[in-house]
Structures are given as structure tokens and as C-alpha cells.
Amino acid sequence: MSSFTNHRVHIYSLTTLALIGTITRVITAEGVNEIDAVGSGSFQIHGSDTPSVALIQEYRIARVIATSAVSGQVHEVACFIIRDVTKEGKGNKVIINVKGPDLIGELMFGNIGFSVISDNAGGPSPTPIADALLNSNKIWSITQHGTGHPDGGIFVGSGETTFVVLITLLQQLRGHMSFSLKNNPRFHVHIWYEHTETFGADFDTLTLLETSNPQAYENNPAVAIITTPVTVKPEKQDVFTRAYVFGAGMGVDRQTIKPAEGHVTIPSGYTVDFDKSLIINSALEATQPKIATSKGFPEYEPEDPNDDFSVRVNAMSLFSAGYYWLKNRSKAVILFYEVKDLVIHRDIVPGQLIHITYSRTSPVNSSGSPATTSIINLDDDLIVLSVRHRFGEGGVRYTDLVIGDTPKRPSTGLDWISEKLKELEETVKHTNAGSGGTGSPSGSSSYLLATGSGPILSGNLLVEPLITIDGVDISAHVDDPDAHHVPGTLSHNSPNFNNGTETHAIDASSNPGPQAYLLKTGPGGQLTLVRISLESLVLTDRTTTQPFNIFIDDGRMFIEPI
């Protein structure tokens, strides 16, 4: 089998994409790209290759390539951001291992903060995707395959990374994304919408061929030489025929699809109860029992919860995401095909649709009797879910593919738990953050935060009888305002006291001067005033204790006993 030659690693600046240097002595290399995921890359070199070791630094880009000895075409094996450099010993040699995420990983560096991304239900366009990518640290370009869903997309940020926002928007638009190992290094993302093509640039044919003469086909990009039989990997999944779909919020405040009624097209085979926020796969229910579930999309909230248009746009996006989620759970078993150790002289992008032709037979049947029996017979349009390129010291670039009839990637054992934890995290995050605005959470949501910040309480807030807040039954005050505090008798020196008997301090003076004051006598019983106006004055004889009334009449003073 002819080899791939001229294995090289080009090292670039992540900041400027300028070529820094080239590594020519590469032991092994590998690159993995998946749909809707951050891929990875790696390579090994000898530790004695000092000039190459000097080129390897974190946050540089490594582009691994190999040249076809047949066509002379340069094929990429990996293109990734260097994040992990380790050493290991093999015999008396030191091997340098270099690893990192592919360039999609750069979207993990950017963060949308608390801004809003929306095309206001503007229909199929890359606008919300492009807006999400603006929050990255790089300028990304987009290749769009197919047409997005007309309901558009919206995202109200609560501190998510650009990658999370991108995936969420695609969920609304019924699309998927991937990174292409073509013409790197460049920040370029492919967006794949629901496949309807049967020809053209987004549709390719690929024949998987087992042959004893692989050299005869190496220059044919439509043929891949199989060195390992295709493996069929069935995956069981829960089937649901109906789903109650909710967005941000909790309880009665949850966002529903109700505002989208009359503004979305209900797909064929589905019915919708907008009042219950329920989407039903009625075609599936005609053949099997009803199986209902509740599905939350807590990151779906309106840009302005007080604006009917914003609420409707969010409901339309929520409907689209709910429908697409339910649609992908209509099969009890999903078939994935794993093709390992392909030799192919072309580049394949995750997300693209390819027509696969492949058959394999056995000379005996399941009983062991000599009878030609078909083991697998593929002649179908399938979606590329994962691409893995690698080469070793032998020089051949081997390619592994995972393909299937759905864009859903094979699950891992922790996927369900991870999904639920993420859903809970987003519920809490978006409940606290509120809708709209470009600042940090300010309490614009309908929830009062435990810290006391949040919206202003207004209206008549009802509390059930016997419910206490910090030990106080608020309802008791309705029947008896003094239920918790007995009024106390006030005096000139009353303190402010509200534990049991309630009193209030009084501010009084025996010498107030020319100002208004409550009066009290001083220590000796005296009272000092600036001026006093009287009609009469009563004085008491100290010896006889006889009181006398002193008054003035017609300019003369009179003293008369009382």
C-alpha cells in the first residue's frame, strides 16, 4: 500500500496565524473532529530534536499534514491549539507528547456575558450565529449548508461561553456545526442544517471497498479502502411521543410555547396543545402507546419579559427546540456505523451527508451451514458524525469514521446525568440573571434573590395563616396590630424598645431656647424659658401656704387671695 509522505507539523501564532516554524521529524500524529463538539489533536516527536522542542509552546497552533504519494495532494491530519506538553521515556529515548483542542476550542475562551443575541425571528440567516461568534477572541467565517429554520434564534446571556451559545442557537435553528480540516489554519466553522440534498457540493458518494489491490483505487477520492470490517453499533434510547416544553423560570413563571400560537408552522405528523405547552408526535402515537415527558430548556428566555414581541420570539425558538428534541427521540434504536482504518485520499467534514455503499457477506449462515449470508449491506445516505485521522511510523494516514442516519452523536454512559446537571445549572443561572440588559444580574427577573437583591415587591403579597418569617406570623397582625408588641407607658426618659413591651424615646428639654420643644423640669425642678405670655400668675405664700392670684388690670398690678 502506497504511503503518505512528507509528514510535517507547521507551528503558527494563535494571535496572528503567522507561520513560526516547521517540525519535520514526527513520530505519530492524530486528529479528531466531531459534529457539535470540540475536537482534538496530538503528535509526538523525539526529545532530542531540540529545534522542534523549542517551537512547542502553549497557545500556539499546530497543523499536522501528510502528502499523498499517489496524488501529491496535501491532506491534513490535525489542526489544534497546543495546551498540553508532556514527556515520557521509551527505552533510552525521551518522547515529547503534544496535545490540545482543535480550533473550535478557541470558542471556550470567549464569553457572551449578559448580553442578548437575537435575530428577532428574522428567518433563516446566519445572523445569530455570526453575532455569537463576535464574542470570540477571533474573527470567524461561516460556511452554511442548507437553510435554517424560519423561527430564528435568540439567546439571553448569563455568563455562558461562546461555544455554549453557539450550540444553543443551533438547537433552535435545527442545525449543527463542525470544524473542517481544510485549508488551515483558519477560524472557520461549518453550519449544517437538516439535510435535503441528493447532489451538489454538500453531498458526496463514497464506496467502502475491501480489495486485494488497493493501489488501483488510491487515486479515486470516491473510494475508501477498508482494512477492518465495518462495525454496526446499535444504541437504545428512550422513546417519547409527547413532551411538555418549558423555557426559563420555575413554577407558574416558566416560559412556555403558548405565545407562539399562530406564529409557527406545525410540522406534518405533529399536533400541539399550546395552552399546556405540549408537543405531540401524533404520527408515532398512531402506532404505539403514549409516552410523555417534560423537557426543560432553561436558557430560553425573552429579551424583554415585559414586551409581547420578545416573549413571542422566545416562544417560537422554544417551540423549534422542543420539536427537534422530540423528533430525535422517535426511534427506540439508532444505528451507528463505525469504520476503522480506512485509507482514503480525500478530506471529509463532520456533518456532511455522504452516500455510503458497502456490503459484506459470510460463506455460512447463522446455523453454520454453507450458505452465502449477507452480514451488512449499506446503500444509504448517512451523516458523518466523527472523523479521526492518524499516522504512525509506517507513514499511512488511516481514517476512522462514525456515521449514522441522524446527526445525534453516540452517547456515553454519563451523557444523561451530564444533561440533567447542565439543565439544573442553567435553570439556576437564568432564574437569577433575569432577562435583557448588558450588565450583571440586576434582578430584572421575576424572582427575589436570597441576598435580598432583585425586583421590588409590589401589590398584595398573600401569606398563608400560621406561616412565619423569622418567627413572626404576619397574618396575626390583621386581627390584632398589637399581636407581637404590647404598647408601654411613655415617660420623659422612655427608650426605644420593641422586645415584648414597645416604647419610644421622647426628646424634651428644661431650657429649649428660642425653638419648639417638649418641656421637662431640670434637676432642681426649674424651667428656663426665653419668654412666656400669661394672663395671670398664681404664687403661694411660703409661711401661710395661702395661694394668691397676681394679675394686671388697666395698667395696675393686683394681688388677691384665692
Nearest to 218 by CA among 342, 307, 338: 342
Ordered DSSP codes for 455-475: SPP-S-----TT-EETTEETT
Prior bond to 185 cis, omega within 30? yes
pTM of the predicted model over 0.85: no
In one letter, which amino acid is 64? V
Distances in whole angstroms, Cα of residue 33 to Cα of each of 44, 416, 547? 19, 22, 112
How far apart are alpha carbons 2 and 100 in whole angstroms?
30
CA distances from 533 to 352, 491, 514, 536, 556 (A): 103, 27, 14, 9, 17
Helix (H, G, I), strand (E, B) or coil at 205: strand
Element (H, E) at 9: strand 4-13
- pLDDT, one tens digit for every residue, the chain (562 residues): 456 778 899 999 999 999 999 999 999 999 999 999 999 999 999 999 999 999 999 999 999 998 877 778 888 899 999 999 999 988 889 999 999 999 999 998 888 887 778 765 444 445 788 888 888 888 899 988 877 666 567 777 778 889 988 988 888 888 899 998 778 899 999 998 876 555 455 556 788 887 777 777 777 778 888 888 888 888 888 899 999 999 888 777 789 999 999 999 999 999 999 999 999 999 999 999 999 999 988 878 887 888 888 888 889 889 988 998 999 888 888 889 998 988 887 888 898 888 888 887 777 777 777 777 777 888 888 899 999 999 886 678 889 999 988 888 777 655 555 565 565 666 555 654 444 444 434 434 455 555 555 555 666 666 676 777 777 777 766 667 666 667 778 777 788 876 667 788 888 888 888 888 888 888 888 888 888 888 888 889 888 899 999 888 888 888 898 8
> Which of 408, 232, 412, 236 minimizes the C-alpha distance to 337?
232
Contact in structure between 12 and 19 (CB atoms under 8 Å): yes
Cβ proximity of 149 and 174 under 8 Å: yes
Cα of 305 vs its chain's centroid, Å? 19
| pLDDT score recorded for residue 432 | 46
Give the CA dihedral 417, 422, 427, 431, nearest 10 degrees. 150
As a whole number of angstroms, the distance between CA 524 and CA 507 comes to 19
SS in 3 state form for 397-410? EEEEEEEECCCCCC
Q: Residue 32's pLDDT is what?
A: 95
d(CA 468, CA 244): 35
Grid cell listed for 381: 445516505
Calculate ∠ Cα 143-147-149, nearest 5°. Answer: 125
What DSSP element (H or E) covers 130? helix 127-133
**Helix, strand and coil in the chain, % to nearest 5:** 15, 35, 50
Q: Are residues 430 and 299 in contact, defined by beta-carbon separation less than 8 angstroms?
A: yes
Contact 328, 408 (CB under 8 A): yes
CB 116 within 8 A of CB 158: no
* Residue closest to 333 by CA, chosen among 409, 236, 232: 236
